[in-house]
Amino acid sequence: MPAALYPAHLDTLLARTAEALARGGFDHLVVPSGTLHYQAFDDRDYPYAVNPQFKAWLPVTKAPGSWLVATPGQRPKLVFLQPHDYWHVVPEAPGGYWAGHFDIVVVRDAADAARHLPADPSRCAILGEAQSALGDYVPNNPPAVIAYLEYHRAFKTPYEVAMMREASRIGVRAHRAAERAFRAGASEFGIHLAYCQAAGQDANDLPYGNIVCLNEHAAVLHYTDRDRVPPKAARSFLIDAGASFGGYACDITRTYSADRGDEFQAMIDAVDAAQLKMCDAVRDGADYRQIHLDAHLALAVILRDAGILRITADDAVARGVSSAFFPHGIGHGIGLQVHDVAGFAASDAGGTIAKPEGHPYLRLTRTLAPGMAVTIEPGIYFIDMLLDELKAKGLGDTVDWDRVAAFKPYGGIRIEDDVVCTDGAPINLTREAFSAT
């Protein structure tokens, strides 16, 4: 249960904050929840997105205009905006397992929050976007403070793992509904609605826009159009869709063949088996860059076995041919943000760990350690632009184009799980949730 784990989570945040403030030379951490943004020349607001630095502290994702104050040695304080307003839903009064750990002040007007913030703004590390400024309380985002907090945010507390487990449970329930809709002949739009219905979440809640692809659309990595009409023949289905729980994300991809006995399904099964091995490599001390590079080889073996490559898997990796079929990174950190921060952080004081040469889309280069949560999302795609580039580079004879033509109508495959590194075997939150339903 996340609730029982929350006090220890808060202690961890308070300890991290004390060190971060010491490094930056500040006395207080001050975090605005953020404000509404409006469309240009319009009075329509964009969906509100809470400041991740705020939701790190408490599972409150819909309270714009609120502020959090953490001062070492004191109880944290929440200045909570609960306006008098009959146009919008007013945030509920603070409550729940977390509320008793804060000194809470309710304000009715956004400007009143300033009276409850530390007296001297110059002693505050204020983390937020410029638009959150309130009088003299202007976000200064000190690099030393942010570098420390974001580096350590990669290491999830047991509370955070429990929150991500809940998000995974919701996501998997919705993935099951989406598969049923696909098998029943729904359009991409219909599948999307079935997903949202089962998750109980829509664009305002989901951690990213659903990627729902039938047939060739699976070759567009972030395909977010949704055809309203089903194709004449639905051969394949790739869905990359997540869910949120208390501000935490899951990020899950599955691929299905309409015909469970065809060679596309066989390739899905091969990617699935390889993906499980990659997940097992999420271990203390493992270099995530190496997991990415090893994935290229494993996927090249599958391409070779399918008759698509006319060269060895090793050659395909060495000559960059595997990148035409697997053109993204093996994954990224995940937690409060679907693409979690500090993926390249060399230390909690700053610095960057470079991506391997020739792999510009890898989002995480750190060495794994217990508590880190990452996605593992290998894929094989048939993307005209990249296949044309192969030919243009003089590598056309490394590929059997008849075999490519046979697979192209299916678009591509991606299998994505969320995996937590421990000091022993990894925890696969996604597989755990699929096994439970």
Residue ranges that bind ligand GLY, judged by CB under 6 A: 208, 240, 251, 377, 416
From residue 358, alpha-carbon distances to 318, 362, 399, 422 in Å are 11, 10, 20, 30
- Select 208 or 344, whichever has its Cβ closest to ligand GLY: 208
Q: Binding segment for Mn ion among 52-60, 104-112, 156-164, 370-378 (CB under 5 A)?
A: 370-378
- Select 209 or 230, whichever has its Cβ closest to Mn ion: 209
Task: Confirm if 436 and 171 have CB atoms less than 8 A apart.
Answer: no
Tokens representing 127 are: 């983390």
Q: Where do we find the tokens 């869910």?
A: 243
| Residue 418 contacts Mn ion per CB under 5 A | no
Closest approach of Mn ion to the CB of residue 317, in Å: 22
Residues in binding contact with Mn ion, number by CB under 5 A: 5
Q: Binding segment for Mn ion among 113-121, 166-174, 390-398, 416-424 (CB under 5 A)?
A: 416-424
Helical pair 158-183 and 2-24, crossing angle rounded to 10 deg = 120
Residue nearest to Mn ion (CB): 240
Closest approach of Mn ion to the CB of residue 219, in Å: 16
Q: Which residues neighbour 22 within 8 Å (Cβ) at sequence distance 6 or greater?
A: none
- Select 155 or 208, whichever has its Cβ closest to ligand GLY: 208
- Select 188 or 416, whichever has its Cβ closest to ligand GLY: 416
Neighbours of 47 (CB within 10 A): 10
- Select 216 or 251, whichever has its Cβ closest to ligand GLY: 251
Task: Confirm if 415 and 253 have CB atoms less than 8 A apart.
Answer: yes
Cα separation, 266 vs 264, whole angstroms: 5
- Map the footprint of Mn ion across residues 236-265, applying CB under 5 A: 240, 251, 253
- Select 97 or 208, whichever has its Cβ closest to ligand GLY: 208
| Residue 323 contacts Mn ion per CB under 5 A | no
Q: Of these, 375, 398, 428, 430, which contacts Mn ion (CB under 5 A)? A: 375
H or E element: which one contains 107? strand 103-107
Closest approach of Mn ion to the CB of residue 241, in Å: 8
From residue 197, alpha-carbon distances to 56, 61, 84, 200, 437 in Å are 27, 20, 32, 5, 17
Helical pair 2-24 and 143-153, crossing angle rounded to 10 deg = 150
Residues near Mn ion (CB under 5 A): 240, 251, 253, 375, 416
